[in-house]
Amino acid sequence: MIRNEKKNRIHDEEPFAGQELSLEELRLLIDNMISPFSYYRMIYDEEGRTVDYEFLAVNRAFEIETGKTREEIVGKRALSLFPETEKYWIECFGRVGKTGISEQISNYSAAFDKWYKLLAFSPKPEHVAVTVSDISNFIKEQRTLQMTAEELRAQQQENYRLAHEEPISGLPNRASLYEAMAERMAHKPERKGFMLAIFTPDNLAEILATYGSVLSDEIMRAIAQRLKELVNPPDMFFSMTGTDLVLLYSSKCDTVEARRTLALVNEAIRTPIKVEEGVFYITASCGVACYPKDSVDRDDLIMKANLALFQAKELGEPIGFYDEEIGLELLHRTRIRNELPKALEREEFELFFQPQISSATDRILGFEALLRWHSAALGDVSPLEFISVAEESRQILPIGAWVMRNAIETLCQLNERCGTEFCMAVNVSGVQLRVDDFVDQVLGLLSETGLKPSLLEIEVTESVLINRTLHAIEKLNALHKHGVRIALDDFGTGYSSLGLLKDLKVSTLKIDKVFIQDPSAAVLTKMIARLGHTLGAEIVAEGVETEEQLKFVRRAGCDRVQGFYRGLPMPLTALERFIALKEGR
Ligand code: C2E
Ligand code: CA
Ligand code: CA
């Protein structure tokens, strides 16, 4: 409520400016005022306290405002007419009537549910005139404005938070990291070095898959909270994606203290996390790149820390520092990625064939087709390097189709020319098995070339069959039903070998070379061979390099032998010579 005071009684002030007005004119003027106007005689008790007031006159606006006619009003007392009249008003008018000092107040009237601004003045003692204006709209506007200002401020704060905070971990986000890095990099490199360490939990994906994102987010938040308390500014944790934790550490990389801090962080992450669902054990890997040693460019530095992280994961080490060699490896991979798409049309691929020999008769049973890439730009590239790139880019689809056709056609020619029934093993990637018409493609090729299905053996590794939702097993079983042989490659190195054998119709188990070449694995090799035979599968020993190994795999019960000792992978011309020599054909 606002109060203004001013003395304004007849004879106290300057007379009304302008010409003399008749009483009638004055009455007309007052009656046509937009604002409600009323005139009272104040009523005091013996002790001089204001108790009420009596209406002497009101104008038309007052009638409209109150909804009562002047006949109903004039001569009546305020409290009898409007029992909810504010006590505050009565007291104020009483004061004005007594002192002659006019007052201006703004306050709320419960009787009319409105905000009013009143000007009360006293033309003669104990008489008060009041003009009223309804300021409800103005007050409402003020309030809205005030509220909007508050909301705006809150919104701005929230926007800032959203723009600078990663929502899952609650840590400062990528934008904040960039700002912090820029600030540090603004210093001369020679003076200020810093370390960028990226941590990622190793087994969060597993928790996400088993328990869902609510829990995995909660765990991430709990870890972030822990880490926050571990370092002091200017060292700080950030998170770029919600599943990574980035430490910006103001120290040179190679200090004992830096390494100790990294180990401490790893340990903090490893400490079991208790949530409602139970206790969870998280491990993390860490990749580190140093400024300015590894790079003076922000994105490059982050990339290098990620590379170091990737490398650490591959090696199963908790912490990896960036080094130049990892960079070169990546460069090579990038080159492969760039050159690979041109390889098919430039006819840079060739199939090599490695013989598989019967361990009982020592005769050739068939071959495994092995892909070779003679790249014009990179020289010969090993399939171990380019197959995974081709899988990532899905180029393995046209490449794999080329391999399949080439292998089948070559086998048909060989068998026709030699009058034999050699068998051809072809490696198939998991990516190829995901294509809907894979089965039709293979069957189509068989009917087109007239090759007996039983002379084709498709080699898959256990790892491609792990994710059973891919229907890969169904596809392989469908081919098996048509007589195509299915070989499980690198057997024993994958994950769930035994569970897989329950569902997949395998014709052949290929025991991986690590078993064949390790004398201490002899018992295992024998067991795998026995298991395979129980399932009705043939056993191929891979990587047989010596006479000794050959004798051993024979004893262990392996049916076929494949390895450098009996035959290297070779191009078709060499293979034809090999067959002629060995089989006398
Ligand atoms: P893999 O299917 O296990 O093929 C056997 C690998 O062992 C071949 O390597 C072969 O050259 C090598 N090898 C054969 N005998 C011996 C031996 O006595 N000692 C040793 N140490 N190694 C031996 P390669 O040709 O470099 O192929 C590597 C891998 O690339 C293959 O492993 C296979 O997984 C993949 N690959 C090759 N060709 C194809 C293809 O056409 N399609 C697909 N998807 N993958 C292929
Ligand atoms: Ca193979
Ligand atoms: Ca193999």
Cis peptide before 292, with omega less than 30 degrees from 0?
A: yes
Quote the pLDDT of residue 4. Answer: 53
Neighbours of 281 (CB within 10 A): 10
Query: Do both 505 and 542 map to the same domain?
Result: yes
Query: Do both 184 and 118 map to the same domain?
Result: no
CA distances from 95 to 43, 44, 103, 427 (A): 11, 10, 9, 105
- Tell me whether residue 81 is in a domain: yes
Evaluate: CB of 543 within 6 angstroms of ligand 1. Answer: yes
Query: Distance between CA atoms of 51 and 585, rounded to whole angstroms?
Result: 133
Quote the pLDDT of residue 390. Answer: 93
Query: Do both 120 and 186 map to the same domain?
Result: no
Kindly give the number of the ligand 1 atom that is closest to the alpha carbon of 407: 41
Task: For a ligand 1 pocket test, name from 336, 357, 367, 370 the mutation site with the most ligand atoms within 8 angstroms of its C-beta.
Answer: 370
**Ligand 2 centroid, distance to 450 Cα (angstroms):** 24
* Encoded tokens for 552: 């051993």
- Tell me whether residue 233 is in a domain: yes
What does the pLDDT average to over 3-11? 58
Q: Do 217 and 280 meet the contact criterion of CB atoms below 8 Å apart?
A: no
Evaluate: CB of 383 within 6 angstroms of ligand 1. Answer: yes
Domain that holds residue 542: 336-583
- Tell me whether residue 40 is in a domain: yes
What does the pLDDT average to over 388-402? 93
**Ligand 1 centroid, distance to 461 Cα (angstroms):** 12
* Whether residue 467 has pLDDT greater than 70: no
- Tokens 């909301």 correspond to 151
* Whether residue 250 has pLDDT greater than 90: no
Quote the pLDDT of residue 324. Answer: 80
Which is higher by pLDDT, 251 or 561?
561
Evaluate: CB of 563 within 6 angstroms of ligand 1. Answer: yes
Q: How confident is the model at residue 18 (pLDDT cuts 50, 70, 90)?
A: low
Residues with CB under 5 A from ligand 2 (ion): 427, 459, 489
Query: Distance between CA atoms of 165 and 78, rounded to whole angstroms?
Result: 61
Evaluate: CB of 97 within 6 angstroms of ligand 1. Answer: no
Query: Do both 302 and 394 map to the same domain?
Result: no
What does the pLDDT average to over 215-241? 90
Ligand closest to 458 (CA) is 2
Query: Do both 434 and 522 map to the same domain?
Result: yes
How many domains does the chain divide into?
Answer: 3
Evaluate: CB of 427 within 6 angstroms of ligand 1. Answer: yes
Quote the pLDDT of residue 190. Answer: 57
- Tell me whether residue 148 is in a domain: no
Evaluate: CB of 403 within 6 angstroms of ligand 1. Answer: yes
Evaluate: CB of 487 within 6 angstroms of ligand 1. Answer: no
- Tell me whether residue 151 is in a domain: no
Query: Do both 352 and 427 map to the same domain?
Result: yes
- Which among 254-258, 267-271, 310-314 has the top mean pLDDT? 267-271
Q: Whose CA is nearest to atom 27 of ligand 1?
A: 383
Average pLDDT, rounded, for the chain: 89
- Tokens 């603004």 correspond to 186
- Report percent pLDDT > 90 for the chain: 57
Q: How confident is the model at residue 375 (pLDDT cuts 50, 70, 90)?
A: very high
Span 65-120, pLDDT tens digits? 889 999 999 999 999 998 888 888 899 999 999 999 999 988 887 777 888 888 99
Q: In 186-255, which residue ranges form alpha helices assigned H by DSSP?
A: 204-211, 213-228
Evaluate: CB of 564 within 6 angstroms of ligand 1. Answer: yes
What does the pLDDT average to over 185-204? 82
**Ligand 2 centroid, distance to 442 Cα (angstroms):** 18
Query: Do both 321 and 354 map to the same domain?
Result: no
Span 324-339, pLDDT tens digits? 877 777 778 888 989 9
Query: Distance between CA atoms of 390 and 341, rounded to whole angstroms?
Result: 9
